[in-house]
Structure 1
Amino acid sequence: MPKVRTKDLIEHFQLELIGGENGIDRPIKTSDLSRPGIEMAGFFTYYPADRVQLLGMTELTFFETLTPEQKRDRMNALCTPKTPCIIVTRGQQVPLELMEAACEANVPLLLSTQKTTRLSSRLTNYLESKLAPTTAVHGVLVDIYGVGVLITGSSGVGKSETALELVKRGHRLVADDSVEIRQEDEDTLIGSSPELIEHLLEIRGLGIINVMTLFGAGAVRNHKRISLVIHLEIWDQKKNYDRLGLDEEKMKIIDTDLTKITLPVRPGRNLAVIIEVAAMNFRLKRMGVNAAQQFSERLMNAIETKEE
């Protein structure tokens, strides 16, 4: 099922439909837009027909210099079975030739009062968000000191209970149990909660609780960029866990590599505090302060001094 159709643009941007109403269910498959200036001059060899077409003042001013026959030919070539819609900006008068071609080909013809550049920017942002690659991850997403921390682990390891303690400590819940993730850029992952379980936490033995109702609107967020993954696992005595923090583990989600920290879980460990410190330490590393690296350098200096 297509993620975006022409009718979604009409509703979201309050565009006026003035022709080709039978095509409003056409799918939009790319966030790229087209301003068909060179096509107005008659060059259609590389015409990106599957894009939303924007006609601004420049295109329509040039169009008025054409002969009646050229006008009809250009508009007929512009309206194809693949074209999702044609938007005329700045509230300009729609050429009769365009109206006739759009109605004949059932291409939705839309009118906007916004400036072309402004509308182009808003359309691109909207389509990139809607058409971005998506996935879902089992885990909990919490905003800790501005760092989006995705907490993963097997069922029953204590993810939701840890999230509850973090919320009590003043941090904000984004999603529990299922985190919907979309990739908005090469290195930007945005996490959110499915609408059905938004603001809810499941605590075994207690049931479902509404975090916003219990702790207020300041305890939740609708979405957050994911920067750090913390994986919880039952403490394995035979496994050697990282004690210095020099080795940085990575986890790939869609096409983005995220820093991953594995925390062993056992009775007595205050996971909420450890995760809180991990988020602060992650922020420090991004600012260029690496405690593990500083310790390693200090240790090497001490060894070299002793050898001399």
Structure 2
Amino acid sequence: MAKVTASELIEKFNLEVISGEEGIYRPISTSDISRPGIEVAGFFTYYPAKRLQLLGRTELSFFEQLMDHEKKERMLKLCTYDTPGIIISRGLDAPRELIEASEEIGVPLLRSSLTTTRLSSQLTNFLDSKLAPTTAVHGVLVDIYGIGVLITGASGVGKSETALDLVRRGHRLVADDSVEIRQEHEDTLIGRAPELIQHLLEIRGLGIINVMTLFGAGAIRPFKRVVLVIHLELWDQNKAYDRLGLEEDTLKIINTEVPKLTVPVRPGRNLAVIVEVAAMNFRLKRLGMNAAQQFSDRLTDVIEEGDREF
């Protein structure tokens, strides 16, 4: 399970460490942010202690109205051994009771100059990205006319050679051989290359080439949303392949179903052109123009007219 620590937040958002520095490596395991206003008021029954706690002007203004013994008690309850961190927004002063409680329990107490709403939004987006479910897929990810196409298939079927031809045609490589895919939202899959093999492409008989060095910075992309899977497989004479394009197959990656096309491979077929046209046709389908369906409808009309004549 992916985890983030307060130390990463400190570096990313330039946060000031007020106290509890020993706890900056506590894991943050959820992207949910809590604004503990009702807890400051004394209700801790459903306190989400494992979330990052964000205190703004509203919570701290109310806190100042409490009695001294209430301040100490509630700050001790706010700082638990499960709490990954507490952040104060707007550059506000931290209450003495909160500083003492964070030092005692070892909860990192941080401060930001950003407004509470903006800080909450930025933290949530960052944590959503970092804590999203992730998987690795054997294949090649290419950006073709703005369509993120994941090319899969058995080893040696021609995925990397197809990608190289696509790059030569002006498209952009994202990852070769291993694609790290992260589900950042309910139906959004973002693919990128592992850091070790960024910009690299392996061509059998040629070896490893650096796409950015050979073709320039415009030939690569650091990441791309995966919206189409094209599976390459060796031509099987005993298998019936879709010739009209009416069949709709999908591949489940993490929790998202992605449209999938199966393209048979045999000598003489220009795979780069086929994949390129597949991406263009997929974009047309999303715009409501389905050539296969239009042909099927016209064919049905012709058959029905012939039946009426007889």
Structure 1 match to 2:302: 302
Shift of 1:5: 1.0
Structure 2 match to 1:88: 88
One-letter amino acid of the counterpart of residue 241, structure 1:
Y
The equivalences for 1:1-308 within 5 A come to 3-308=3-308
One-letter amino acid of the counterpart of residue 142, structure 1:
V
Shift of 1:157: 0.4
**2:143 & 2:75 partners in 1: Cα distance?**
51
Shift of 1:2: 5.3
One-letter amino acid of the counterpart of residue 210, structure 1:
N
**2:2 & 2:153 partners in 1: Cα distance?**
32
Q: Secondary structure at the match of 1:189?
A: strand
Q: Secondary structure at the match of 2:276?
A: helix
**2:242 & 2:115 partners in 1: Cα distance?**
56
Q: Secondary structure at the match of 1:25?
A: coil
Shift of 1:61: 0.6
Q: Secondary structure at the match of 1:245?
A: coil
One-letter amino acid of the counterpart of residue 203, structure 2:
I
Q: Secondary structure at the match of 2:66?
A: coil
One-letter amino acid of the counterpart of residue 251, structure 2:
M
Shift of 1:104: 0.6
**1:154 & 1:101 partners in 2: Cα distance?**
57
One-letter amino acid of the counterpart of residue 143, structure 1:
D
Contact 1:18-1:111 within 8 A present in 2 as well: yes
**2:134 & 2:241 partners in 1: Cα distance?**
32
Q: Deviation string for 1:169-209 (max 9, x for gaps)?
A: 00000000000001011111000000000000000010010
Q: Which runs of structure 1 show a deviation greater than 4 angstroms over 4 or more consecutive aligned residues?
A: none
| C-alpha RMSD over aligned residues | 0.7
TM-score, normalised relative to structure 2: 0.98
One-letter amino acid of the counterpart of residue 214, structure 1:
L
The number of aligned residues is 308
**1:2 & 1:85 partners in 2: Cα distance?**
17
Q: Deviation string for 1:40-77 (max 9, x for gaps)?
A: 11000000000000000010011111111111111011
Q: Secondary structure at the match of 2:4?
A: coil
Q: Secondary structure at the match of 1:91?
A: coil
One-letter amino acid of the counterpart of residue 259, structure 1:
P
Q: Deviation string for 1:192-230 (max 9, x for gaps)?
A: 000000000000010010000000000000000000000
Shift of 1:307: 1.1
Identity %: 72
**2:166 & 2:153 partners in 1: Cα distance?**
17
Shift of 1:6: 1.3
**1:233 & 1:3 partners in 2: Cα distance?**
37
TM-score, normalised relative to structure 1: 0.99
Q: Secondary structure at the match of 1:123?
A: helix
Q: Secondary structure at the match of 2:28?
A: coil
The answer for unaligned runs of 5 or more in structure 2 is none
Contact 1:2-1:28 within 8 A present in 2 as well: no
**1:225 & 1:2 partners in 2: Cα distance?**
20
